[in-house]
Amino acid sequence: MDTTGILDEALQRLHSSGPERLGRLTNHAPMAVEALAAHGRSGSVHRWLDLYAPKLEEFPSRVEAVTAGNWQSALGDSRRAADWIDHFGREIADRPWRDVLTEWWPRLLPGMYGGSTHPVIRVGHAVRTLLVAENTEAGEAGGVTGPRLAELAHGLGYWAARFHPVAGLALLPGTDTAAAALDAVAPIAERDGGFTARLGRFTGLPVWAATVTDPDEAHGRLTELVRAATHRYATHGHGEETMLVHAATAPNAVLRTLPALPRVLWVPSLRAAWTASAAVTAMYAPDAPVAYRPPGTYTPEEVFERAIAHGDEHVIKLTDTALDVGDERALAAALRSIELSEPLVGPR
């Protein structure tokens, strides 16, 4: 946990920016700086943010306040991002953040596929910080602070504005393991267009963990899914080096959030996370894998240093997830993302 105040400074700096740029691309900075701070690299936060700053846009205009009476009509309206962020800011100011999350998680979960799954990933980063902060001594820098609560409001607001469900999926023959289930996902036939267009062509979901009813088993299966999707990137990431990151980071965001949620929500969270990971796999899987290459003698700390030096936001976030998984194949996946991705450079 960052106890220097740097993460708070960075979040305050970022909250004057919108959750997207160019009308469709996600602002990844809040997620990346949280990952840096979570791994003890707060000293790199502002330097990285200075490089990323040219990608930031101003906070969007407000349309109409979201209220208890009109929220359903505002759900999924990307023009209303500022209205939704304001709404969650008020909610979290008035009630404990866990209560707000518990109320809205089941409302938002069916639509976690909008915004290329980035909104739920942003929420997962925000919740991780708050959960750790709750264990920080009262009054110590780095506890539950205004900027960290505001970051949850921004994440939830972005999710509500980009709410996009997936329905009508045909259930296909399944497998017993997450790795085999990902292998069983059939690539979509047409690969043109962006995330939303491709998502509309995702029509079949292999059955995996469909019979799970126990929350502890759901937690275990979700952990297995994150591991399998991270491992898979090491041999399949070349299908689309950026988008395939989300097959691992989206379910990991859900996994990080489970401890803040009532156990009754864990099973539906697993099902939504599996659908997201399978959808991303179907949309961007390569025609064939490459041979697995072990990571050599790199330590987790050295791999994270390499990710910071590279700078790409997706590299940092996949490496963050790889360190959660913590084994050799996960480190190989992180190194593969460094190899495949364009590095972040200065203003241009």
pLDDT of 38 higher than 60 = yes
Region 302-318 average pLDDT = 97
pLDDT of 348 higher than 60 = no
- Top-confidence residue, 114 or 348: 114
Region 283-289 average pLDDT = 97
pLDDT of 144 higher than 70 = yes
- Range of weakest confidence among 9-13, 21-25, 84-88, 202-206: 21-25
pLDDT of 267 higher than 50 = yes
Contact predicate 38/126, CB 8 Å: no
Give the per-residue pLDDT at 139.
Answer: 44
The helix/strand/coil state of 85 is helix
pLDDT of 193 higher than 60 = yes
Report the sign of the C-alpha dihedral through residues 33, 35, 38, 41, in that order.
negative
Mean confidence (pLDDT) of the chain? 95
E-assigned strand segments in 89-223: 170-172, 204-206
Task: Encode pLDDT of 215-224 as tens digits.
Answer: 999 999 999 9
Region 87-116 average pLDDT = 98
Instruction: Assign 346 a pLDDT band (cuts: 50, 70, 90).
Output: low
Contact predicate 130/148, CB 8 Å: yes
pLDDT of 2 higher than 70 = no
Burial of 316 (0-12, 13-18, 19+ CB in 10 A): buried
pLDDT of 3 higher than 90 = no
pLDDT of 138 higher than 50 = no
Task: Encode pLDDT of 5-28 as tens digits.
Answer: 999 999 999 999 999 999 889 999
d(CA 117, CA 113): 5
Contact predicate 293/231, CB 8 Å: no
Task: Encode pLDDT of 222-243 as tens digits.
Answer: 999 999 999 999 999 999 999 9
List, as own/partner pairs, every contact residues 20-26 make where C-beta atoms lie below 8 angstroms and the sequence separation is at least 24, other chains included.
Answer: 20/57, 20/78, 20/81, 20/115, 20/158, 21/55, 21/56, 21/57, 22/57, 24/194, 25/55, 26/115, 26/116, 26/118
Instruction: Assign 251 a pLDDT band (cuts: 50, 70, 90).
Output: very high
- Reported as type and span, the H/E element at residue 213 is none
- Reported as type and span, the H/E element at residue 264 is none
Region 57-71 average pLDDT = 97
Region 96-107 average pLDDT = 98
Contact predicate 164/114, CB 8 Å: yes
Q: Give the angle subtended at the CA of 41 by the CAs of 222 and 301, to the nearest 5°.
A: 65
d(CA 306, CA 297): 13
Region 197-213 average pLDDT = 95
Percentage of the residues of the chain whose pLDDT score is greater than 70: 96
Give the per-residue pLDDT at 137.
Answer: 53
Region 194-211 average pLDDT = 94
d(CA 13, CA 209): 41
Percentage of the residues of the chain whose pLDDT score is greater than 90: 92
d(CA 152, CA 249): 17
Give the per-residue pLDDT at 143.
Answer: 80
Contact predicate 12/45, CB 8 Å: no
